[in-house]
Amino acid sequence: MADSLPTKIQLQVVSADRSLVNETVDEVQIPGSEGYFGVLPGHTPLLALLGAGELWYRQGSEFHYLAMAFGFAEVQPDRVTILAEFAERADEIDLARAEAAKVRAENRLSSVTVDMDAERARLALLKSLIRLQVATRAKIRS
Protein backbone atom coordinates (compact mmCIF):
# COMPACT_ATOMS: atom_id res chain seq x y z
CA MET A 1 0.00 0.00 0.00
CA ALA A 2 1.12 3.55 -0.72
CA ASP A 3 -0.37 4.93 2.51
CA SER A 4 2.61 5.85 4.65
CA LEU A 5 2.85 7.87 7.82
CA PRO A 6 4.37 11.35 7.63
CA THR A 7 7.98 11.57 8.86
CA LYS A 8 7.86 15.22 9.97
CA ILE A 9 5.41 17.67 11.52
CA GLN A 10 4.78 21.23 10.37
CA LEU A 11 4.60 23.20 13.64
CA GLN A 12 2.99 26.62 13.72
CA VAL A 13 2.78 28.62 16.96
CA VAL A 14 0.86 31.88 16.95
CA SER A 15 0.18 34.16 19.92
CA ALA A 16 -2.32 36.99 20.19
CA ASP A 17 0.10 39.45 18.57
CA ARG A 18 2.50 37.47 16.31
CA SER A 19 3.70 34.25 14.75
CA LEU A 20 6.52 32.67 16.79
CA VAL A 21 7.22 29.36 15.05
CA ASN A 22 6.65 28.00 11.56
CA GLU A 23 9.06 25.06 11.32
CA THR A 24 9.29 21.45 10.21
CA VAL A 25 9.97 19.39 13.35
CA ASP A 26 10.40 15.79 14.51
CA GLU A 27 8.52 15.94 17.82
CA VAL A 28 6.52 18.38 19.98
CA GLN A 29 5.52 18.38 23.66
CA ILE A 30 2.54 20.60 24.45
CA PRO A 31 1.23 21.89 27.81
CA GLY A 32 -2.42 20.78 27.60
CA SER A 33 -5.02 21.85 30.14
CA GLU A 34 -5.12 18.25 31.44
CA GLY A 35 -1.32 17.83 31.41
CA TYR A 36 1.52 17.62 28.92
CA PHE A 37 1.18 15.51 25.78
CA GLY A 38 3.64 14.56 23.08
CA VAL A 39 3.08 14.56 19.35
CA LEU A 40 5.02 12.54 16.79
CA PRO A 41 4.42 12.39 13.02
CA GLY A 42 1.25 10.40 12.28
CA HIS A 43 -0.52 11.40 15.51
CA THR A 44 -4.29 10.94 15.65
CA PRO A 45 -6.14 14.22 14.96
CA LEU A 46 -7.30 16.08 18.06
CA LEU A 47 -8.20 19.51 19.38
CA ALA A 48 -6.95 20.34 22.88
CA LEU A 49 -7.13 23.25 25.30
CA LEU A 50 -3.75 24.62 26.34
CA GLY A 51 -2.76 25.00 29.94
CA ALA A 52 0.16 27.11 31.11
CA GLY A 53 3.66 25.73 30.80
CA GLU A 54 6.58 24.91 28.59
CA LEU A 55 6.26 23.79 24.99
CA TRP A 56 9.30 22.19 23.44
CA TYR A 57 9.96 20.91 19.98
CA ARG A 58 12.80 18.85 18.53
CA GLN A 59 14.53 19.22 15.18
CA GLY A 60 16.99 16.33 14.93
CA SER A 61 18.92 16.46 18.21
CA GLU A 62 18.23 20.18 18.79
CA PHE A 63 15.53 21.23 21.28
CA HIS A 64 13.71 24.59 21.31
CA TYR A 65 11.62 25.93 24.20
CA LEU A 66 8.69 28.33 24.53
CA ALA A 67 6.75 29.61 27.52
CA MET A 68 3.02 29.67 26.82
CA ALA A 69 -0.36 29.89 28.44
CA PHE A 70 -3.91 29.22 27.36
CA GLY A 71 -5.44 28.82 23.93
CA PHE A 72 -5.82 25.79 21.66
CA ALA A 73 -3.75 23.13 19.92
CA GLU A 74 -4.95 21.45 16.74
CA VAL A 75 -3.11 18.23 15.97
CA GLN A 76 -3.17 16.54 12.55
CA PRO A 77 -0.95 13.62 11.47
CA ASP A 78 1.47 15.98 9.67
CA ARG A 79 0.72 19.35 11.31
CA VAL A 80 0.35 21.00 14.73
CA THR A 81 -1.16 24.47 15.02
CA ILE A 82 -0.97 26.27 18.37
CA LEU A 83 -3.05 29.39 19.03
CA ALA A 84 -1.87 30.73 22.39
CA GLU A 85 -3.03 33.73 24.39
CA PHE A 86 0.57 34.18 25.59
CA ALA A 87 3.73 32.69 24.06
CA GLU A 88 7.39 33.63 24.21
CA ARG A 89 10.58 31.95 22.91
CA ALA A 90 13.20 31.10 25.52
CA ASP A 91 15.78 33.42 23.96
CA GLU A 92 13.37 36.37 24.27
CA ILE A 93 12.90 36.01 28.01
CA ASP A 94 14.65 38.56 30.20
CA LEU A 95 15.51 36.60 33.38
CA ALA A 96 15.89 39.69 35.55
CA ARG A 97 12.51 41.04 34.42
CA ALA A 98 10.83 37.68 34.96
CA GLU A 99 12.34 37.40 38.45
CA ALA A 100 11.18 40.95 39.31
CA ALA A 101 7.66 40.14 38.02
CA LYS A 102 7.61 36.99 40.17
CA VAL A 103 8.56 38.99 43.28
CA ARG A 104 5.93 41.68 42.51
CA ALA A 105 3.20 39.07 42.02
CA GLU A 106 4.18 37.21 45.21
CA ASN A 107 4.12 40.49 47.15
CA ARG A 108 0.67 41.38 45.77
CA LEU A 109 -0.67 37.95 46.68
CA SER A 110 0.80 38.05 50.20
CA SER A 111 -0.80 41.40 51.01
CA VAL A 112 -4.36 40.99 49.81
CA THR A 113 -6.41 44.17 49.69
CA VAL A 114 -10.10 44.63 48.96
CA ASP A 115 -9.58 46.23 45.53
CA MET A 116 -6.86 43.81 44.40
CA ASP A 117 -7.50 41.51 41.46
CA ALA A 118 -6.18 38.26 42.95
CA GLU A 119 -6.74 36.31 39.72
CA ARG A 120 -4.60 38.79 37.76
CA ALA A 121 -1.86 38.53 40.38
CA ARG A 122 -1.99 34.71 40.22
CA LEU A 123 -1.73 34.81 36.42
CA ALA A 124 1.22 37.22 36.62
CA LEU A 125 2.95 34.85 39.04
CA LEU A 126 2.21 31.86 36.80
CA LYS A 127 3.60 33.59 33.70
CA SER A 128 6.76 34.68 35.51
CA LEU A 129 7.36 31.15 36.85
CA ILE A 130 6.92 29.65 33.37
CA ARG A 131 9.27 32.25 31.87
CA LEU A 132 11.92 31.48 34.49
CA GLN A 133 11.59 27.72 33.94
CA VAL A 134 11.85 27.97 30.14
CA ALA A 135 14.70 30.49 30.13
CA THR A 136 16.68 28.50 32.70
CA ARG A 137 16.22 25.21 30.83
CA ALA A 138 17.27 26.78 27.53
CA LYS A 139 20.43 28.20 29.14
CA ILE A 140 21.33 24.81 30.66
CA ARG A 141 21.04 23.11 27.24
CA SER A 142 23.09 25.75 25.37
Mean pLDDT of 112-124: 73
The superfamily (CATH) of domain 93-141 is: ATP synthase delta/epsilon subunit, C-terminal domain (1.20.5.440)
Q: Where are the chain's structural domains? A: 9-90, 93-141
Instruction: Convert the pLDDT of each residue in 21-68 to its tens digit.
Output: 999 999 999 999 999 999 999 999 999 999 999 999 999 999 999 999
Q: Where are the alpha helices (H) located in 1-142, listed in sequence order?
A: 95-110, 118-141
Both ends of the chain: CA-CA distance in Å? Answer: 43
Residue 1: what pLDDT? 47
**pTM: predicted TM-score of the whole model, two decimal places:** 0.81
The superfamily (CATH) of domain 9-90 is: F0F1 ATP synthase delta/epsilon subunit, N-terminal (2.60.15.10)
Order of all β-strands in the sheet with 35-39: 19-25, 9-14, 79-89, 62-76, 46-59, 27-32, 35-39
